[in-house]
Chain A
Amino acid sequence: MRYRLRHTTSYTYSWAVDISYHLLHLALPELPRQRVHACSVTTNPNSGRLSAQIDHFGNRVAYLTIDAPHKRFDVELRAEVEVDPFAGVDPEATPPWESLRDMLDGNGFPAPVLESEFVHASPFAQADAEAVAYALQSFTPSRPVLAAAKELTERIFRDFRYDPAATEVFTPVSEVMKQRAGVCQDFAHLQISMLRGLGLAARYVSGYIRTLKEGETTGLRGADASHAWLSVWCGPELGWVDLDPTNNMICSDQHVTAALGRDYGDISPVRGVVLGGGPHRIGVAVELLPLG
């Protein structure tokens, strides 16, 4: 599926900001199932100093400093991107989850070195005993990893209420467990924490989900802003498989990936520090429209 993507973020400050520093995780990466045909990030004011880098996770990062007073900051991502469907995998035919757990432990020296990074708890996805107990109901002995993970995704979708008022960015996993409510970030962090608690590798994915087409009445959740889901490692052959607990699905060609990390903290799309400015308002708009 080929898409046209537009993602705008605007910050409106109460009074002038003297200087602002931004860290942008916006530019789309090339991935096995994702090809980027065009991608541009523009800002207003555009007078700043911009430098681009690849980060530890392989994401494309941009640093922007605006050293002139401004009351508003807009950043826009426009891209054309193509995503292949995820198909031909039978979750019941994936390796038993314990074999992956043991492989990732490797008695201190796991063969999948880079994947083993995502076994460890991280600031936004802390270990939680209750969450692990919840996950174990799906991860019965010798169960194929993707079958169990898919069922876990489904249970989170069923048992947890989608409620933007229930949480903030800093709401810890333990709190989400108690409230049984949250938004896409919370569900992603929750399932990541559960999988890692079992000794599996799970990473956080930020990106976009297909916007409602004309004539459709029920769309996908998370389409009006940047979306988040997770990836679970299913062994050397299959690699990473993306799961979206907010929409109860294995991600296929309706999701476009923007960045990968341990959790939200590693890949927040627009991070910044401003001097001055006072209280500010944020406006976000996302459009991911299929082409043709």
Chain B
Amino acid sequence: MSLPLPATVSQKGAEAIPVIPPNPLDAFDEMVTGQGVIRPHWQPLLATLSLLGANGLAERAERGRQYLENEGVTYNLYELPGGSGRGAAEIAPPLPEQRPWRLDPVPVLLSAEEWEGIEAGLIQRAHLLDLILRDLYGPMTLLHEQRFPPALIFGHREFLRPARSMTGKPPRMLQHYAAELVRGPDGVWRVIADRTQAPVGAGYALQNRRVLSRLMGQALRQCRVRPLNAFFEYWQADLAARAPTQSDNPRVVLLTPGPYNEAYFEHIYLARELGATLVEGADLTMRDGRIFLKTLAGLEQVDVLLRRLDGEWCDPLELRADSAVGVVGLLQSAREGNVAICNAIGSGLVGAPALQAFLPTLARHFLGEDLKLPSIATWWCGQDYALQEAIQRFDSVVVRGAYDLGEQPVVVSDLPDTERAAFLQRIKARPGNYVAQERILPSVSPGLGEKGLEPQSILLRVLVVADGDDYVVMPGGLARVPEKNDPFGATLQRGGINKDVWVVAKEQGPTVIRGTASRQRMPLRRSSGTLQSRVADDLYWLGRSIERLDDGARLLRAVLSRLVGEFASARDMVEMTVLARTLARCGIVDQKAAAAPPDTALFSGALTRACAPGQLLGQTLDGIERLAVVSRHRFSADMWRMFNHLLGELRLSRPAALGDADGTLAFCDQMIRATAAISGMLSEHMTRGSGWRFLDFGRRLERGVFIARTVSAATTMIGASTDSAFRIALEVNDSSLTYRRRYRSALQAAAVFDLLLLDISNPHALAFQLHGMAQHLDAMPNPDAPPRSADCLALTQPFADLVASFDRDEIGREEEAQLANRLRGSLDAACQALMDISDQLTRTYFSHVQVAHSFGFGS
């Protein structure tokens, strides 16, 4: 198409072409010129939109929503202060509400020429911000030469004094950065915020592009949109190049505050994209001035750390002592040059909104140039003239905190008159704490609204990353439709709709993409080798918790099914008593309730509350949810979705089940089904690496303990109600069917005990668990350290003799009781031995997963 298409054409024929109402404001229109002509770079997209029609577009939008949901793309709605502390691991804090990522199927298009301006402006700005940071964290000449107000440094909580270099100018501090841009009615792009701490957005932008390339693949090609992949290759290469010592394969880790952080999804995504290991503070340790990753195979040195944790939380020794998510000694290691931290700790300092007011003069000072991309007009009220300016135009400005980007901006004209004067008084009392910024009407771009396409205001977030001594800009980014009360789109947290940003490639010349040829060919590997100890620990407990839930639900069901019947026979009463005793032994109900007669309210009340949040089963359920979240990065998107679904269903049905016998019984069935589904999924989809071994080991061990406990409890009935003893033992260990198939209905001691204790073909037999554990131990990184496989296998020994003793024609009553006692003794000993094995495993593999205590700074 050579001639520009008049905009009015697109409004004809509502069925075929989505209706684009005229822009009602004076905002700059990204798609239509002032003369009502569609800008050329939008035309191929518009052609596609026309072909799709309103229904087609809505259908694409729905497909996009599903892709995102399937990928589990979320944004956590709130963040716990300081992320998740390991100290509180036992009591799971509530999970943050996860907000689905909302993506508009219609992108924002930017022409090649326009982009060149943004690109050059942001590269200049990144250089400038880095130079400012390195001066302020070094010689502070800007302060001594009166070029920069000291209040903006000394009063800023992100000026982290221990991070200052006392021996000269520090090396590059800003490795990556994000700018928020808005285009005013004059068509000029302006920067409204510089995010220099650990900016979110790159991962989400890539995710958006992947979805849009499925929804709008044809338009993407026709518009000749620049790909985003090269940006991540630059980023990865630059991280590797910052390793303090040259090595072929430096270890890069991405330090996240954990699953409770608002952007945890992006942390997982970025780590994968950049080839970095996703770690939490507890995974790292400082030894001898260097930072190490704690893995099952020992300590591995870390060369580069991509920081997603705010600076002040990074090192409890020198920064906030109450941080449970940092690494003790991290600053010291960085100071000695043994680890490169990107961005350097303290980089958040230059994100202060007040800095905008001084950037033009600082650009001339450092670079001898004017800013290529202007900032939004900003007055720092700490200077008299600026305060006067702010007061004069008070009704037309937005006021925000001078230091913190996260503070909610106040649109003065939105304030009631009564509050306006009081607000001005607050500013005058502490003027240095405020900036006034001009209010800009953002440009509009078409987006899918409730009634088809409509012009929507947009903000742009663009990412920049270092490339050696220079910077490169992501050709694209994240566009967002700000909420009404949020003129600057203060954070992603407030939600809102996101859009992909398409930057059109230049007419001439091939797009240069950095090749990866320089990298060495990688040796083939069958394992990733370096599972973090903490992750192994979490997976081990996930295995144990899933099994504990399954066992507990089975046991509880056995009692409840006898209780809810119309009439409980004498046999039922006896069996319930024994089962209740077992429940108490497992910690599922308390001793007193278990000892009460089954027809009392005390007894039934305890059973129907067994899944309540404070009770063991309730805690186990909550624990599984927490462990699943922290282990999320070990699971594929499909597995995670399944987990999410099953756990979500349990969460929904639990409240109604509480306090009601029939409801609890149904809930037990649901728990048993869910654990079965989870087990099946794990066994079919998890790679048989260390992670899986620890998970399965946990399961086997927990089940072994359960078998030993339940059979031990059943032996107390031998003699008085022998049949009940056997029936219960088989039932709660899911072996009744197998038994009946083999032996019909006759219940005999030797046959029952053989099936439950020795039969390695029965997945609910003790020997089966011990054999499985032994195999896992042999394949673990340190097979010679306790627990050893031989110790596991030896545990079956006493049972072979005991079962043989039962397996005789003539056993006297007294002898039977004696044998039952011996068997009980051996089972209890096996139970204890399994606990010891768990302790040994913890000591050998998880011992450096310890809680740190601070002192000398507070209590």
A30 at the interface (CB under 8 A from B): no
Instruction: Using known A-B contacts A21-B317, A23-B318, A55-B166, determine if residue A268 contacts B856 with beta carbons closer than 8 Å.
Output: yes
B370 interfacial contact with A, CB 8 Å: no
Could you say which residues of chain A place their CB within 8 Å of the CB of B317? 21, 23, 271-273
Interface centre among A53, A56, A265 (most CB of B within 10 A): A56
Besides the known contacts A116-B150, A116-B151, A273-B853, 7 further A-B residue pairs in the complex with CB atoms under 8 A apart: A55-B161, A57-B161, A108-B383, A169-B859, A170-B858, A265-B857, A273-B317
Contact with B along A1-44 (1 / 0, CB 8 A): 00000000001000000110111000000000000000000000
B852 touches A274 (CB 8 A): yes
Contact residues in A for B332 (Cβ distance below 8 Å): 51, 63
20 contacts between A and B (CB under 8 A): A21-B328, A54-B166, A55-B166, A56-B161, A65-B329, A67-B287, A108-B151, A113-B150, A119-B151, A168-B859, A170-B859, A272-B854, A272-B855, A272-B856, A273-B328, A273-B852, A273-B855, A274-B853, A276-B850, A280-B855
CB distance from B784 to the nearest CB of A (A): 22
Closest CB in chain B relative to A211 CB, distance in Å: 23
**In the assembled complex, which residues on chain A have CB atoms less than 8 Å from the CB atom of B719?**
none
A275: Cβ under 8 A from any B Cβ: yes
Q: Which residues of A lie under 8 Å from residue B858 when comparing CB positions?
A: 168-170
Bound Cα distance from A274 to B318, whole angstroms:
14
Asked if A266 is at the interface of the complex by the 8 Å CB criterion, the answer is yes
- Kindly state whether residue B640 has any CB partner on chain A within 8 Å: no
The A-B contact count (CB < 8 A) is 105
- Give min CB distance, B178 to chain A, whole Å: 28
Cβ of B351 within 8 Å of any chain A Cβ, yes or no, is no
Q: Which of B336, B432, B855 contacts A274 (CB 8 A)?
A: B855
- Chain B residues contacting A21 (CB-CB under 8 Å) are 286, 317, 328-329
A53 and B154 contact, CB distance less than 8 A:
no
Which residue of B146, B154, B318, B321 contacts A109 across the interface (Cβ within 8 Å)? B146
Query: Chain B interface residue count: which class?
Result: 35 or more
Bitwise, A214-257 to B at CB < 8 A (1) or not (0) is 00000000000000000000000000000000000000000000
Contacts from A to B (Cβ < 8 Å) = 11, 18-19, 21-23, 49, 51, 53-57, 63, 65, 67, 107-110, 113, 116-117, 119-120, 168-170, 265-266, 268-277, 280, 282
Using known A-B contacts A54-B166, A116-B150, A116-B154, determine if residue A11 contacts B328 with beta carbons closer than 8 Å: no
How far is the CB of B744 from the nearest CB of chain A, in Å? 58
Report the minimal beta-carbon distance from B290 to chain A, rounded to whole angstroms. 11
> Are B318's CB and A275's CB within 8 A?
no
Residue B59 interfacial (CB < 8 Å)? no
Q: A55, B162: Cβ atoms under 8 Å?
A: yes
CB-CB nearest in chain A for B165: A56
Which residues of chain B from 787 to 844 have a CB within 8 Å of any chain A CB? none
A266 to B856, CA, bound (A): 11
How far, in angstroms, from A119 to B433 measured CA to CA in the complex? 13
The residue in chain A whose Cβ has the minimal distance to the Cβ of B152 is A108
Q: How far is the CB of B642 from chain A (nearest CB, A)?
A: 37
Q: In the complex, what's the smallest C-beta–C-beta distance from B848 to chain A, in angstroms?
A: 8
User: From B386, which residue of chain A is reached at the shortest CB distance?
Assistant: A108
What does DSSP make chain B's interface, helix, strand, loop or mixed?
loop
A11 with B855, Cβ < 8 A, contacts A21-B317, A108-B149 known: yes
Query: Does B15 reach chain A (CB closer than 8 Å)?
Result: no
**B853 near A277 (CB under 8 angstroms)?**
yes
Q: Residue B151 contacts which of A67, A120, A280 (CB distance < 8 angstroms)?
A: A120
Shortest Cβ distance from residue A76 to the other chain B in the assembled complex, whole angstroms:
16
What 8 A-B pairs are tightest by C-beta distance, nearest first?
Answer: A271-B856, A56-B161, A108-B383, A117-B154, A120-B155, A108-B149, A275-B850, A273-B328
A62 to B151, CA, bound (A): 29
- What is the distance, in angstroms, from A124's C-beta to the closest C-beta of chain B? 10
Contact flags B148-179 to A (C-beta < 8 A → 1, else 0): 01110011000001101010000000000000
Is there a chain A Cβ closer than 8 Å to B248's Cβ? no
Tell me which residues across on chain B come within 8 A of A22, comparing CB atoms: 856
Shortest beta-carbon distance, B148 to chain A, in Å? 9
Cα(A274)–Cα(B851), bound, Å: 9
Taking Cβ atoms with an 8 Å cutoff, the residues of B that contact A are: 143-144, 146, 149-151, 154-155, 161-162, 164, 166, 285-289, 316-318, 321, 328-329, 332, 335-336, 380, 382-384, 432, 848, 850-859
- Complex interface: chain B residues within 8 A of A280 (CB): 855
Contacts of A109 in B (CB 8 A): 146, 149-150
Complex Cα–Cα for A56 and B136 (A): 11
Q: Given A21-B317, A109-B149, A273-B853: A56 and B166 within 8 A (CB)? A: yes
By a CB distance below 8 angstroms, the chain A residues around B855 are: 11, 271-274, 280, 282
Closest to B164 in A: A56
Q: Is the CB of A53 within 8 A of B166?
A: yes
**Taking A49-B289, A107-B384, A265-B857 as contacts, is the C-beta distance between A18 and B162 under 8 angstroms?**
no
A265 contacts which chain B residues (CB < 8 A)? 857
Distance to closest chain B CB from A50 (angstroms) = 11
Looking at the assembled complex, report how far the CB atom of B373 sits from the nearest CB atom of chain A, in whole angstroms.
25
Report how far A169 CA is from B857 CA in the complex, Å: 8
B-chain residues with CB within 8 Å of residue A273 when the two chains form the complex? 316-317, 321, 328, 852-855
Closest residue of chain A to B157 (Cβ to Cβ) is A123
Least CB distance, B311 to chain A, in whole angstroms: 15
How far apart sit A271 and B320, CA to CA, in the bound complex (Å)?
12
Closest to B156 in A: A120
Question: How far is it, in angstroms, between the C-alpha of A56 and the C-alpha of B140 when the chains are bound?
Answer: 11
With a cutoff of 8 Å between Cβ atoms, the chain B residues found around residue A23 in the complex are 317-318, 856
- For B329, what are the chain A residues with a Cβ–Cβ distance below 8 Å? 21, 63, 65
Complex: chain A residue closest to B335, CB-CB: A53
B286: chain A residues within 8 A (beta carbon): 21, 65
CA distance A100 to B161 in the complex (A): 25
Provide the residues of chain A in CB contact with B336, threshold 8 Å: 51
> Measured between C-beta atoms, what is the minimum distance from A199 to chain B in Å?
11
Residues on the A chain within 8 Å of B146, using CB:
109, 113
B328→A268 contact, CB < 8 A: no
In the complex, what's the smallest C-beta–C-beta distance from A266 to chain B, in angstroms?
A: 7
A115 to B682, CA, bound (A): 62
A67–B287 alpha-carbon span in the complex (Å): 8
A275 CB contacts on chain B under 8 angstroms: 848, 850-853
A290, chain B: closest CB distance, angstroms: 29
A270 to chain B, nearest CB (A): 5
What is the bound-complex CA distance between A58 and B537, given in angstroms?
Answer: 43
B857 partner residues in chain A, CB cutoff 8 A: 169, 265, 268, 271
